[in-house]
Amino acid sequence: MEEKYLSEEKIGRLMAKYAVPCIISLLVGALYNIVDQIFIANASYLGSFGNAANTVVFPLTVIALAIAVMIGDGCCAFVSLSLGRNEPENAGRSVGSAVVLTVISSLVLTAVYLIFSDGIITLFGGTVNAETFEYSKEYFFWITLGIPFYMFGQAMNPVIRADGSPRFAMVSTVAGAVINIILDPIFIFGLKWGMTGAAVATVIGQIATAVLAVGYLCRTRTVRLSRRDFRLCGGVVFKTLTLGICSFLSQISLVAAMAAINNMIRKYGALDEIFGREQFAQIPMAVVGIVMKFFQIVISIVVGMAAGCIPIVGFNMGAGRKERVKSLFTRLLIAEACVGLVALIIVEFFPRQLIGIFGAKNESAYYTDFALRAFRIYLCMVVFACVNKAAFIFLQAMGRAAASTMLSMVREIVFGVGLALLLPMFLGLDGVLYSMPVADILTAIISAAVIAQTYRQLGGGAKKAHRGLETADLC
């Protein structure tokens, strides 16, 4: 049985089975926006204006992702805890509620985006110049139409993993991304559809992933679904969202940080001797967007490793197997630090090759110079960023939602937004670049104390876990 496997199989093998497909799923999911930006950047008729527009719209897709992962990751953790306690009926209720919540929230968000599109684009720095604003509107409209499919696929991905099918979760995401990669050059270079082509290719891929998720829900592996499971149950919804709130805040606070960064780039870029000129005004925003996309690849690996362990952590915590959870935590932190080290080597020694992927050959020397500086400064503390993120997600999987949420909020809101607003006052445009490494250093100091406390908790023997998260008789 899957339950016995989670409690007895070697930790290393469990990590490989669950984390690797999750990493691939998140990497492929990240490729949707990254692939769009690569093709846009290499289309001479779009260039850095299209790149800047992509950067403006990116946080708006993250808002949709934030809601989706709150529902999906919360359901994943809740299902794992329920199965660990031998409460399959609550697992089914959680999955059914997750489906209904995703559909409702995605339709509401789509309506809000369509009604307030101009104001939203302006809020995220789209008015850096006229060309960027028009490209942003065009791209945003079509991306918005795909929001329901995007959210459903992203929310169901962790649910499918919790059901014991990490490979299917991976395949469904890969299928959508492959479709996007095939259609992007056809629409952008062949048909010359520009930003519309990039967006439509993305939406078609998202539809494919959503359709596969629906197909899986009709034949789940571990969790048995019935019609009554799709009636919203207040107790189950509350527990599910409580466990997923860290994922939501992690993503939504990132949106706040990106909004602050985009607007500081627009404000202080206008005061710069070079980027204050109309023809170069979009360069800082385009470049920072590229740096963020590379960071997104790194974080996809980091989050995939940690999120892939959620079913393992949740089940063993629910079963009182703390020694296995402690061993998993140690291995995870070491692995995440290694990922960060590799990323650091790449950004410090090979930034020119990275920007070359995003069409630097079509841009001015100012573009290249700023991009080299941005990569080397913005991501110089990426090792800390990786370890911090792993700690946030692991605490969430253990059921320590309060500690996880606190750390995430401190990193993204207090430090992420605060420093992005403060440092440019003293360092100008470079202050935006230094805001991230300083935030990661300060967060790492706090995370170290929380990690030490977690080790002490896990060393306390096989006591009853999650006293505050009992799941019986919720409806």
* Segment 135-150 mean pLDDT: 96
For residue range 427-449, what is the model confidence (pLDDT) as tens digits?
A: 999 999 999 999 999 999 999 99
Q: CA-CA distance, 166 to 174, in Å (whole number)?
A: 12
- Is the pLDDT at 474 greater than 60? The verdict is yes
| Distances, alpha carbon 20 to alpha carbons 168, 368, 383, in Å | 12, 34, 20
Asked if the model's pLDDT at residue 82 lies above 50, the reply is: yes
For residue 194, what pLDDT band results from cuts at 50, 70 and 90? very high
Q: How far apart are the first and last CA of the chain?
A: 27
Q: What is the pLDDT of residue 139?
A: 96
Global pTM value: 0.77
Question: 2 pLDDT exceeds 70?
Answer: no
Task: Report pLDDT digits (tens) over 285-321.
Answer: 889 988 988 998 898 899 889 888 877 887 888 778 8
Task: Please check whether residue 234 is in contact with residue 174, taking contact to mean a CB–CB distance below 8 angstroms.
Answer: no
Beta-carbon count within 10 A of 312 CB: 25
**Helix runs in 163-282, H state only:** 166-185, 194-217, 234-269
Q: How many residues does the chain have?
A: 475
Per-residue pLDDT, 468: 44
Other CB atoms closer than 10 Å to residue 28's CB: what's the count?
Answer: 24
Establish if 321 belongs to a structural domain.
Answer: yes
Please give the pLDDT value at position 461: 46
Q: Is residue 139 part of a domain?
A: yes
d(CA 36, CA 246): 28
With beta carbons less than 8 A apart as the criterion, state whether 74 and 240 touch. yes
CA dihedral (23, 24, 30, 34) positive or negative: positive
- Is 471 part of any domain? no
Residue 97 lies in domain: 2-466
305 domain-assigned: yes
Cα separation of 194 and 289, whole Å? 18
pLDDT digits (tens, 9 = 90+) for 237-271: 888 888 888 778 767 777 888 889 988 998 999 89
**Residue 472 placed within a domain:** no
Mean residue pLDDT of the chain comes to 87
Instruction: Say if 473 falls within a structural domain.
Output: no
d(CA 201, CA 146): 10
Instruction: Say what the alpha-carbon torsion angle 241, 59, 339, 321 is, to the nearest 10 degrees.
Output: 0
Residue 452: inside a domain? yes
Count of structural domains within the chain = 1
Q: Which has more pLDDT, 35 or 287?
A: 287
C-alpha–C-alpha distance, residues 64 and 103, integer Å: 12
| CA pair distance 177, 102, nearest whole angstrom | 21
Give the integer Cα–Cα distance in Å for 193 and 100. Answer: 35
Does residue 233 lie within any of the structural domains?
yes
Give residue 464's pLDDT: 46
